[in-house]
Amino acid sequence: MQSKRRRSLKREARAIFRAGLNAVHAGEAVCRYMRIEKVRGQEFLVCGKQRISLSETERILVVGAGKASSQMARAVERRLGNRIDGGAVVTQYGYAERCKHIEILEAAHPVPDISGLEASRKIEKLALSARKKDLVIFLLSGGGSALMPAPAPGISLEDKQSATNALLRAGAPIEALNCVRKHLSDLKGGNLARKVFPARMIALLVSDVIGDPLDVIGSGPATGDSTTFFQAKAYLQRYGVFHDMPEAIKNRIEAGCRGEIPDTPAPEDKIFRRVRHHVVANNKIALEAAFEKAKSMGYSVKVQTNSLSGEAREAGKSIAENAKRISGNSQNKLSPRCLLYGGETTVRVLGNGVGGRCQELALSFAIEIRGYDNVCLLAAGTDGRDGPTEAAGGIVDGRTAKTAQNQGLDPDVHLRDNNSHVYLRRRGACIVTGPSGTNVMDLVILLVNC
C-alpha cells in the first residue's frame, strides 16, 4: 500500500509540473498576447493594450535572444507572416525552431562562444538599419544575456567567458551576473535600444527573474539601466573574483568607476520613449497553473513563495522541515497537502561533481526526509536544463536517500562533492524534459500525503 502511494505522489507531482510548464510555453504565450486587428480597412498590431497602425509602419524587423526565442519567433511569424521584412534571433544549441522570415541562430549557454558573437553582430546590424518609421520587435527570454555577448570595445569574447565562468563557480545570482555583463557589453543595459532609436520597438519578454525587473531580464538590452560600474566592481569583489579577472576587464571597470567611460543609458534617456515592454510569461503564471492542477487533484494547495532563492542545499533543508512539520501535524490529516515554490536558487561549487541547482536542492531534501514514506518533492528548471546536465531537475521521496547504500551510493558524499546529478541519475530520480520552449526559473512541488 505504501509503495502504491509513493508511485502516485511522483506521478501526480509530474502532472502538476507539466501543467505549470504548459501554461508558460513561450510560443503560445506570444500568440495569446499578439494579434492583428482590421478596422475600416486598416490593420493594427495589438500587443496587450498597445495598438500600432501597420499602414503607418514601413518595415517590420524581428530580433531576439534567449532559450525560448525561436519559439517566440515562430509565434510572431504565425501572426505577421509576410509582413516581416527581416529578422535574426539567437537561441541555445538544440533549442532552434526553424522559421521562414526570421533567421534562427544557435550559440552556447551559459558561457558565450564565437557563434554567439557572430549572432550578436547580425542582430546589431539589423538594429542599426532601422529607420524612424520601422517597427522592431525584440524577443527576449532567459539565457539571452549569454547568447548575445557583443563585447564592449577593448573586451574580448574570452574575457567575457572568464568573467561568466568565475561568477558562476562563485555562486553569484543572476542579478550579479547581468550587472557585470552589462558593463562589458555593446548591446546590453539599454544599448540595443540606443542602436534601434529612433525606430519604434516592442519588446516581448519571457521572464526568468524574480519580480520581472526589466533591466535584469537578459541584462536589459532595451531598457534603461540603473546599475553602475561601481556596482559591477562591487559584485566582482563580493564574490572574490575581481583580482582574477583579465586585465582588460579590470581596466574597463576601473575606468568606468573613474568616469572615463560613459555608463549604460539611464532609464530617463530619450531613447526609451519609443520602447514598450510586455512580459508575456513568467514564474507567477506557471505557479498559478500548477496551483489549479493540484487543486483539481484533491490537494490542499498553497504557494509558499514565488521568490525562492539562496543556496540550493539550504533551500532543500528548509523545505524538508516544512514537509516534516506537515507530516507530523494531526490537524492536516483530512487532505493531502501541496506546497509550491517558484524562483531560482544558486550553487556554490566546492566539489568536483556534476549537478545543477534543482538536483542539488532535491538531493539535500531527500537526505533530510529519509524514511518518510508519505512525502515527495519535484524540483526542476522550466527551461529543461539544470546546470551542465541533460536533466531538468530531480524527483525524490523518503526512499531516495534511505536505500541508496544497497547500490554503493552515499548521498551525503555526493552532496558534499556537488555531484547530485550522478547520484540522482543512478537512482532513477532525474526529471528529463528536453528543450521545453520556455524559461521562467524553477518550480518546486512538495506533496505530503497526510
Give the pLDDT of the chain (450 residues) as one tens digit per residue. Answer: 344 344 489 999 999 999 999 999 999 999 999 999 999 889 999 999 999 999 999 999 999 999 999 999 999 999 999 999 999 999 999 999 999 999 999 999 988 899 999 999 999 999 999 999 999 999 999 899 899 999 999 999 999 889 989 998 898 988 898 899 899 999 999 999 999 999 999 999 999 999 999 998 988 999 999 899 999 999 999 999 999 999 999 999 999 999 999 999 999 999 999 999 999 999 999 999 999 999 999 999 999 999 999 999 999 999 999 999 998 875 556 689 999 999 999 998 899 999 999 999 999 999 999 999 899 999 999 999 999 999 999 999 999 998 766 677 899 999 999 999 999 999 999 999 999 999 999 999 999 998
**What's the predicted TM-score (pTM) here?**
0.87
Distance of CA 222 to the CA centre of its chain: 17
CB 342 within 8 A of CB 308: yes
Residue 333: predicted pLDDT? 62
Cα–Cα distance list, 406 to 8, 164, 263 (Å)? 24, 39, 58
Burial environment of residue 49 by CB neighbours within 10 A (0 to 12, 13 to 18, 19 or more): exposed
Q: In degrees, to the nearest 5, what angle opens at C-alpha 431 toward C-alphas 427 and 432?
A: 115
Residue 431 phi/psi, 5-degree rounding, is -100, 120
User: How much is the pLDDT for 408?
Assistant: 77
Query: Grid coordinates in use for 16?
Result: 502538476
**Other Cβ atoms within 10 Å of 52 Cβ, number:** 16
* Per-residue confidence (pLDDT) for residue 379, from 0 to 100: 98
Please tell me what DSSP assigns to residue 66: S
Q: Which DSSP string do the residues of 77-134 spell out, in sequence order?
A: HHHHGGG--EEEEEEETT-----SSSEEEEE-SSS--HHHHHHHHHHHHHHHH--TT-
Whole-angstrom CA distances from 208 to 211, 313, 433 are: 9, 21, 18
* Nearest Cα residue to 344 out of 376, 373, 385: 385
Neighbours of 18 (CB within 10 A): 15
For residue 425, which amino acid is it? R
| Cell 576587464 belongs to residue | 249
Instruction: Produce one character per residue of 66-87: b if its CB has 16 or more CB atoms within 10 Å, e if not.
Output: bbbbbbbbbbbbebbeebbbeb
Pairing relationship of beta strands 275-281 and 200-206 according to DSSP bridges: parallel
pLDDT score, position 330: 55
**Per-residue confidence (pLDDT) for residue 2, from 0 to 100:** 41
Residue 143 C-alpha cell reads as: 539565457
Q: Is the peptide bond before 265 cis (omega within 30 degrees of 0)?
A: no
Question: Cα–Cα–Cα angle for 402, 450, 442, nearest 5°?
Answer: 65
Helix or strand holding residue 14 (H, E) = helix 2-23
Q: Which amino acid is at 247?
A: E
- pLDDT score for 6: 43
Distances (CA, A) of 206 to 74, 115, 337, 382: 15, 23, 30, 11
Amino acid at 48: G
Give the dihedral of Cα atoms 258, 264, 268, 271; nearest 10 deg: 140
- Which H, E and C letters describe 349-413, residue by residue? CCCCCCCCHHHHHHHHHHHHCCCCCCEEEEEEECCCCCCCCCCCEEEEECCCCCCHHHHCCCHHH
Which three three-digit cell numbers place residue 303? 504557494
Give the pLDDT confidence score for residue 404 in this predicted structure.
66
According to the model, what pLDDT value does residue 406 have?
A: 65
The closest alpha carbon to 21, from 285, 219, 197, belongs to: 285
Cβ atoms of 380 and 386 closer than 8 Å: yes
* CA distances (Å), origin 168, targets 114, 132, 175, 357: 19, 40, 12, 12
- Is-contact 289 20, C-beta < 8 A? yes
User: Could you tell me the domains of the chain?
Assistant: 2-20+286-448 (3.40.1480.10), 27-150+185-227+264-281 (3.40.50.10180)
What does the alpha-carbon distance between residue 390 and residue 396 come to, in Å, rounded to a whole number?
A: 17
Share in percent of the chain as helix, strand, coil (round to 5): 40, 20, 35
Predicted local distance difference test score (pLDDT) of residue 328: 81
Q: What angle do CA 175, 177, 178 make, to 5 degrees?
A: 65
